Amino acid sequence: MCGRFVVANPAAELVGVLQVDQVSDTLPAPSYNIAPTAQAAIVLDSAKTDPPTRRLEPARWGLVPAWAKDPGVGARAFNARAEELEDKPMFRTAFHKRRAIVPATGYYEWKQEADRKVPHYIHPRDDAPLLLAGLYEWWKDAAKADDDPDRWLLSFTILTRDSIGGLGSVHDRMPLFVDPDVADVWLDPGTDNVRDVLDAAIDAAPAVAETLDVRVVSAAVGNTRNDSPALIEPDADDG
């Protein structure tokens, strides 16, 4: 799973490789401890234009489908198993029509040891942006006026798959990493062969995983009120 991640640099700088056409002026500030229900930047291709407009937008972490009665359901949908997307009503429509990429600097995972869970920070060793496969949805708050700018909620989930290589020693699940060469077809809202697109992303993910470093970090990351560069530093008590 992926329950916390880091965007240490301005998101616009992280996604230059994706050739974003439009960058929102309300992106969240850099954060070292992004948790579910918090805001983060996502990349999506809007199908309202031809060709689609690639946008970088702020979104709430935790997918809220259009049919939800309350946005609170998103708190339970911050991750989606890649192998179950077509079986889950929560994610099925977004999988076919609204795929996103979540740019990150790295993410945290907790390893179960004998008497505690130990936090690890996982990130590209060359400091390149880490691209995570996601889905997004728009939810309309019917209680708000049509001209209320907060009537529409943009939300997202991060896809996961079985861990591979050294990452499997930390946790049995990992985010579905997106190779830049797969990014365009993943984002394309017009593709019909979505299963093939997902398979291509899954096949390319191991090569990305091999470029990642893992280190033990302070237990302070477990508290969402903590948010500073110190969270990604090696734990002084480790080893």
Q: Considering the domain boundaries, does residue 186 fall inside one?
A: yes
Q: Considering the domain boundaries, does residue 57 fall inside one?
A: yes
- The whole-number mean pLDDT for each consecutive block of 10 residues of the chain, a chain of 239 residues, reads 88 76 92 97 89 93 94 94 94 95 96 90 92 96 77 95 90 93 91 91 92 96 96 81
pLDDT at 171: 92
DSSP codes joined into one string, 205-227 = HHHHHTTEEEEEB-GGGGSTT--
Q: Considering the domain boundaries, does residue 211 fall inside one?
A: yes
Contact 112, 1 (CB under 8 A): no
Q: Considering the domain boundaries, does residue 237 fall inside one?
A: no
pLDDT at 109: 96
Q: Considering the domain boundaries, does residue 208 fall inside one?
A: yes
Contact 60, 137 (CB under 8 A): no
Contact 22, 43 (CB under 8 A): no
Q: Considering the domain boundaries, does residue 69 fall inside one?
A: yes
Q: Considering the domain boundaries, does residue 239 fall inside one?
A: no
pLDDT at 14: 66
Task: Quote the radius of gyration of the chain (alpha carbons, Å).
Answer: 17
Q: Considering the domain boundaries, does residue 238 fall inside one?
A: no
pLDDT at 125: 92
Q: What is the dihedral of CA 15, 47, 195, 122, to 10 degrees?
A: 20
- Number of domains into which the chain is organized: 1
Burial class (CB in 10 A: 0-12, 13-18, 19+), 135: buried
pLDDT at 66: 92
Q: Tell me which residue range forms the domain holding 18.
A: 4-232
Q: In what order do the strands lie in the sheet with 106-112?
A: 31-34, 4-7, 106-112, 117-124, 212-216
Q: What is the domain-level CATH number for residue 32?
A: 3.90.1680.10
pLDDT at 239: 52
Residue 231 DSSP symbol: G
pTM for this structure?
0.94
